[in-house]
Chains A and B, each alone.
Chain A
C-alpha cells in the first residue's frame, strides 16, 4: 500500500484509533454530525424474534471476545447476538454468535463471551441482535429534536440499519436482512463486539 510518495514509513494499514471494537454507532460520527449531548433513551424491541442488523466497516481484522449491548429499562426474555460477513448479492453469512442468552440487568451493558474468540475480518461486516420478546428494551442514541418515525426510518437506513422477522430465537446461518418498513427505534440501538482486555 502506498500513500503516494512511496515512502515505506507511511505504509500503514488503516486502523481505528481505538482498536478491537465494532459498535453500532461507529460510522455515524463520520458521516453525520451526532449530537452527543443528548441522553440515550430506552426503546422496546417492537416485535418478538425480530433481528436488527447494522453494517459497519471493520478497518482491521481482530478477534472479538465478547458481544455486548446496552440494556434498557425493561428486561426479561432472551437474546442472541452475532456477526455476519457480507457477500454482496449472496447476502449475509454468520461468522459466529453467542446463542440464546438470558437478558441481564437493566441499565447496564451486558457483555457475553463468544464460546471462543471470533475472528472479525477487515471490511464490511454486519452486527446483529435479536430478542424473543417485543417488550425487552435496548438503549438507543437519542437526537434532539427527535425525528418523526418516518424520518427516523430514513435515517436508520442511511446509517446501515435493517431488520428481518423470524419465527424463533437464534440468528440464522444465512439471511438477507430486509429494509425496515415499520417505525423503528427512536434512534440507533447501542450494541457491538469487542476484544476485551481481560
Chain B
C-alpha cells in the first residue's frame, strides 16, 4: 500500500451537493449565471445520484430558491436502491433568491457509496435557481446524473426515477449538510 494512498476526504466535509464531482468529469463549465425558473411540473421530483466519499451526519437539506414563492417543497435522501433514508417533509416555500436550509425530520447518517438526493415541489409556480446549461443543448443534465419522477410529492418511500424530460436546460442546485449550529 502506498503511503499516500490515504482515505479520500473531501475538502469541505459534512456537505454533499447535487453538482459535486462534476468539475472533475466535466471541465467545460458553462460561463453562465443562475436563472430563476418555475418548477416545470407540479408534484414532480428531481433526483441526482452521486457518490458520497465519507460517512457523515446529515441534519439539514438545502436548495437554491428563486424569486417567486408558492406551495411546498420536500427534500430527501435515498440509498442506491431508491429507498428513502430521510427527508424534510413538506415545508412551505419562502421566496428567494437565496439558499433555503430545511431541517430533516430527524438527523441521519449518510453512508459511504452512491446515494440519491431528491427535491420535489407541489406546484408549477414556485421558482428555483438553476445553472443555465441550455447552451449545451438537451441531455446535459442526464450526463450529470439527474433523473425525475412524476407525481412524487411528497417524496415517496421508494423512488422510481426515469430519464429527464424536464430540467434539461439546467437542474436545481441542492444538497445535504451537517450543520453544527
Chain A residues within CB distance 8 Å of chain B: 1-5, 7, 10, 13-14, 17, 30, 37, 57-61, 122-123
B5 within 8 Å of A (CB atoms): yes
By beta carbon, the residue of chain A nearest B54 is A4
Please name the 3 residue pairs, one residue from A and one from B, whose CB atoms are nearest each other, closest first: A123-B4, A13-B5, A5-B112
Encoded as 1 (CB less than 8 Å from any A CB) or 0, chain B from 1 to 41 comes to 11111111001000000000000110000010000000000
Q: Quick one: given A7-B112, A10-B113, A17-B24, are A61 and B7 in contact (CB under 8 Å)?
A: no
Q: Are A1 and B7 in contact (CB under 8 A)?
A: yes
Among B25, B53, B55, B112, max chain A CB count under 10 A is at B112
Measured between alpha carbons, how far is A11 from B51 in the docked complex, in Å? 13
Q: Are A2 and B3 in contact (CB under 8 A)?
A: no
Q: Quick one: given A3-B112, A14-B8, A17-B24, are A122 and B3 in contact (CB under 8 Å)?
A: yes
Q: Are B1 and A1 in contact (CB under 8 A)?
A: yes
Contacts of B113 in A (CB 8 A): 5, 7, 10
CB proximity of B130 to chain A, nearest CB, Å: 22
Contacts of B55 in A (CB 8 A): 4-5
By beta carbon, the residue of chain A nearest B21 is A17
Q: Quick one: given A3-B54, A7-B112, A7-B113, are A14 and B1 in contact (CB under 8 Å)?
A: no
Chain B residues within CB distance 8 Å of chain A: 1-8, 11, 24-25, 31, 53-55, 111-113
Contacts of B111 in A (CB 8 A): 5
By beta carbon, the residue of chain B nearest A59 is B4
Interface class of chain A by DSSP: loop
By beta carbon, the residue of chain B nearest A30 is B11
Measured between alpha carbons, how far is A57 from B2 in the docked complex, in Å? 13
A-B contact pairs, 26 of them (CB 8 A): A1-B6, A1-B7, A2-B7, A3-B8, A3-B53, A3-B112, A4-B7, A4-B112, A5-B112, A5-B113, A7-B112, A10-B112, A10-B113, A13-B5, A14-B4, A14-B5, A14-B8, A17-B24, A17-B25, A30-B11, A57-B4, A59-B4, A61-B2, A122-B2, A122-B3, A122-B4
Q: B3, B8, B25, B54: which contacts A123 (Cβ < 8 A)?
A: B3
Measured between alpha carbons, how far is A60 from B2 in the docked complex, in Å? 9
Measured between alpha carbons, how far is A61 from B2 in the docked complex, in Å? 9
Contacts of B8 in A (CB 8 A): 3, 14
Q: Are A1 and B5 in contact (CB under 8 A)?
A: yes
Measured between alpha carbons, how far is A111 from B54 in the docked complex, in Å? 39
Measured between alpha carbons, how far is A5 from B7 in the docked complex, in Å? 12
Measured between alpha carbons, how far is A4 from B53 in the docked complex, in Å? 9
Q: Are A3 and B25 in contact (CB under 8 A)?
A: no
CB proximity of B23 to chain A, nearest CB, Å: 9
By beta carbon, the residue of chain B nearest A58 is B4
Contacts of A2 in B (CB 8 A): 7
Q: Are A3 and B5 in contact (CB under 8 A)?
A: no
By beta carbon, the residue of chain B nearest A29 is B23
CB proximity of A90 to chain B, nearest CB, Å: 17
CB proximity of B180 to chain A, nearest CB, Å: 20
Measured between alpha carbons, how far is A17 from B8 in the docked complex, in Å? 14
Measured between alpha carbons, how far is A101 from B82 in the docked complex, in Å? 59
Q: Are A122 and B5 in contact (CB under 8 A)?
A: yes
By beta carbon, the residue of chain A nearest B8 is A14
Measured between alpha carbons, how far is A3 from B53 in the docked complex, in Å? 7
CB proximity of A110 to chain B, nearest CB, Å: 24
Contacts of A57 in B (CB 8 A): 4
Contacts of A3 in B (CB 8 A): 7-8, 53-54, 112
By beta carbon, the residue of chain A nearest B53 is A3
